[in-house]
Amino acid sequence: GQNIDQPTEMTATEGAIVQINCTYQTSGFNGLFWYQQHAGEAPTFLSYNVLDGLEEKGRFSSFLSRSKGYSYLLLKELQMKDSASYLCAVRDRQYGGATNKLIFGTGTLLAVQP
């Protein structure tokens, strides 16, 4: 089966850096996505990793280690608007490698404080 774990909640200070971890267990890993979701709104895409290493996009970076079943999302220079849930989602080849079906974690609710 599949299992994705993320911390339920995190708190950080405006201007600081925060790292949100995600661990996963899948039978056929085929890519990992991070989404941001503000309360009551649609999830929006942040980053995608399929190979080991760091992907950087402005203030946001995402890291993947396939051997450890581990990813993190790094948010720098935190702003109040970054307060949201961050969803880790894994594509599993068990469902067919090119089908783009995702398994979502339950999300990490980040609160940015002044």
Partner 1 sequence: DADVTQTPRNRITKTGKRIMLECSQTKGHDRMYWYRQDPGLGLRLIYYSFDVKDINKGEISDGYSVSRQAQAKFSLSLESAIPNQTALYFCATSDRQNSNQPQHFGDGTRLSIL
Give the integer Cα–Cα distance in Å for 60 and 39.
20
Cβ closer to partner 1: 47 or 72?
47
Q: Mark 38-77 with x for binding to partner 1 (rule: CB under 8 A) and - for no binding.
A: --xxxxxx--x-x---------------------------
Q: Would you state the torsion angle of the CA atoms of residues 28, 30, 34, 40, taken in this order, to the nearest 10 degrees?
A: -70
- Of 48, 38, 53, nearest to 102 by C-alpha is 48
Q: How far is the CB of 33 from partner 1 (least distance, A)?
A: 6
10 is an interface residue for partner 1 by CB under 8 A: no
Which residues are CB-neighbours of 59 under 8 A, at least 6 positions away? 75, 76, 77
Q: How far is the CB of 110 from partner 1 (least distance, A)?
A: 15
Amino acid code (one letter) for 69: G
Interacting residues with partner 1 (CB under 8 A): 31, 33, 35, 40-45, 48, 50, 87, 89, 98-102, 104-107
